[in-house]
Amino acid sequence: MLGSLLLAVSRSPLARRAVSGFPVTRHVVNRFVAGEDAGDALSAVRRLTDAGLSVTLDHLGEETTDARAASGTVKAYVAMLDALRPLGLGERAEVSVKLSAVGQRLDQGMALDHAREICAAARDAGSAVTLDMEDHTTVDSTLSILRDLREDFPATGVAVQAYLLRSEGDLRDLSYEGSRVRLVKGAYAEPASVAHQKKSEVDKAYVRCLRILMRGKAYPMVATHDDRLISITELLADRYSRGRDSFEYQMLYGIRTDKQEALAVAGSTVRVYVPYGDDWYGYFMRRLAERPANVAFFLRSLRSK
């Protein structure tokens, strides 16, 4: 119930203004967001990669209905990739892109052209792009754009949300050699007609989706902070004779940093999802909705100020 409420609030302009106005909000947001500009993000990249972790950078923003704003997002990604190039991190530092931030709501062709520009900059930097998945109304468009991008940029990855009823079928289609797939639970408010509603149902769906990926030929990017799901991943890797270089774990910036480091020390590739930018509200509210512990952290911070 709390999660559903927070997801609804994440799209409320009135709530956005109220939460953004709290004097202590920035203190709390800093736990989940690397900063507001590229310099902040690059500092986080250096710190994380020095600790043996990989990163994927997300320039915050989504659902733009302004062509100039979409072009601005593309420029921000290209500038970030240009800044990453001299660091020589290669695939250890990639970017994650929400297609709705680069024009998907306006025109699919515009979004594809913009995504191509970002992918070209990533290739020049020795890096790659992963497409974030948004609400269920964008899935077909996102997968269509993915197919087009992979013709010229085969390393382009995509996120699949386990709670969507269609996702097991999508994963069977995506489980081919060289296909990079990030498996997430899902963080949007979706109706029962398209998505599992109960946590137990979502967890079971995640395991079914994970099994499809691990026994297939794709490169799974297992996005979870759940110890039980991490253990299941290890068991499936053993069952299907997967080496540690044939999949990776992904975790969010600021969440379970001890687990991130422990997995990396044990030899796993761990990629941290690093968001940056001033349009943080929707991302922040979804992080609160995902885990009650995050809400408790927020409330404790409010009381301590």
> Which residues are designated catalytic?
132, 182
Residue 250 near residue 159, CB atoms below 8 Å: no
Structure tokens at 286: 């979804």
Query: Comparing C-alpha atoms, which of 81, 107, 83 is closest to residue 95?
Result: 81
Query: Comparing C-alpha atoms, which of 275, 232, 230 is closest to residue 252?
Result: 275
Structure tokens at 140: 């077909």
**Residue 136's Cα: distance from chain center in Å?**
16
Whole-number Å distance between alpha carbons of 54 and 14: 36
Task: Assign residue 255 a region (left: φ > 0; alpha: ψ between -120 and 50; beta: otherwise).
Answer: beta
Contacting residues for 49 by C-beta, under 8 A, at least 6 apart? 55, 87, 89, 92, 93
Q: Collapsing DSSP states into helix, strand and coil, what is residue 197?
A: coil
CA distances from 198 to 132, 205, 212, 222, 294 (A): 23, 11, 21, 21, 19
Amino acid at 262: A
- Rounded to 5°, angle at Cα 263 from 244 and 285: 115
Whole-number Å distance between alpha carbons of 129 and 153: 9
Residue 222 near residue 247, CB atoms below 8 Å: yes
